[in-house]
């Protein structure tokens, strides 16, 4: 097995979730030491236990990404553990289907929570990690956005705004940090089911459903030295869904 991340360290937010958990495990399998951050400590610990059983190094940490103080604390923890931060993966976020509604009917609480988790959480961690990365003139930042951030979607105005903000911030930060040898990119998944049992094949021109490892694969590429000249981009990992009806059928 290739060990692309031997002696490297990473922080993964949303590390107890589907995409974040898969990414944390994939990084660890290739030699990376990972701080697995999640609002649900038990989920983060479960991912770390899986990593440890396979001989990897991972530490769980309960973090509310909406708090800049907790983002700073997570970065401080990683520095305390390993003395460096090579990779940041911001995958905390999401939108609960039952909370989707037209913007004119949406509550302040839902809007603020969606923006807090999906946008502010990324901003706080990007800022905190970048402050350490510039000192070493090395770093890979990968922010998980969404195809919704560029396309929009009915009844998801606040989520679309947050993910669009992530993409715009990623591009701006890439400009700011480029001369410090820090790569900043976004990855935009399409539909990634949280559980099996629903046929999402119609969401892909490839007639198959995404799994978290599909997203993790792109994240690992961007975190690797193979992507040293890639920065400021938003990479679609959606099975061609963003091609729209022209990509699905001309009949």
Highest-scoring range by mean pLDDT, 26-30, 103-107, 190-194:
26-30
pLDDT of residue 191: 76
Share of the chain above pLDDT 70, in %: 92
pLDDT at 94 over 90: no
Between 35 and 208, the more confident residue is: 35
Residues serving a catalytic function are 159
Cα–Cα distance measured from residue 176 to residue 130, given in angstroms and rounded to the nearest whole number: 10
Mean pLDDT of all residues in the chain? 92
Q: Give the mean pLDDT of 10-14.
A: 99
Position 250 confidence tier, pLDDT thresholds 50, 70, 90 = very low
**DSSP code of residue 224:** S
Q: How far is the C-alpha of 211 from the C-alpha of 202, rounded, in Å?
A: 15
User: Cα–Cα distance between 150 and 135 in angstroms, integer?
Assistant: 33
Confidence of residue 51 (pLDDT cuts 50, 70, 90): very high
102: part of which helix (H) or strand (E)?
none
6-21 average pLDDT score? 98
Cβ 24 vs Cβ 12: under 8 Å = yes
Cβ atoms of residues 141 and 129 within 8 Å: yes
Mean pLDDT computed over 87-91: 99
Q: In order of start, what are the domains of the chain with their CATH numbers?
A: 9-248 (3.40.50.720)
What strands, in cross-sheet order, belong to the sheet with 234-237? 57-62, 33-38, 9-13, 87-90, 139-144, 182-189, 234-237
């Amino acid at each position: 097995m290739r060990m692309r991340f031997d002696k490297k360290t990473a922080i993964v937010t949303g590390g107890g979730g589907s995409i974040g958990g898969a990414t944390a495990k994939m990084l660890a399998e290739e030699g990376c030491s990972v701080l697995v951050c999640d609002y649900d400590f038990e989920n983060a610990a479960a991912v770390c236990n899986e990593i440890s059983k396979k001989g990897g190094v991972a530490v769980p940490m309960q973090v509310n990404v909406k708090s800049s103080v907790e983002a700073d604390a997570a970065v401080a923890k990683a520095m305390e553990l390993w003395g460096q931060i090579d990779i940041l993966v911001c995958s905390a976020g999401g939108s609960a289907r039952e909370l989707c509604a037209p913007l004119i009917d949406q509550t302040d609480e839902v809007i603020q929570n969606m923006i807090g988790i999906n946008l502010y959480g990324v901003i706080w961690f990007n800022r905190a990690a970048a402050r350490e990365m510039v000192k070493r003139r090395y770093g890979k930042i990968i922010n998980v956005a969404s195809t919704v951030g560029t396309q929009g979607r009915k009844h998801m105005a606040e989520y679309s705004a947050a993910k669009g903000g992530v993409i715009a911030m990623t591009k701006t930060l890439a400009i700011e940090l480029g001369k410090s040898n820090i790569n900043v990119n976004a990855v935009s998944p399409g539909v990634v089911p949280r559980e099996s049992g629903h046929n999402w094949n119609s969401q892909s021109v490839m007639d198959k459903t995404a799994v978290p490892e599909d997203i993790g694969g792109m994240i690992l590429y961007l975190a690797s030295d193979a992507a040293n000249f890639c920065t400021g981009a938003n990479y679609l990992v959606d099975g061609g869904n963003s091609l729209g009806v022209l990509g699905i059928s001309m009949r």
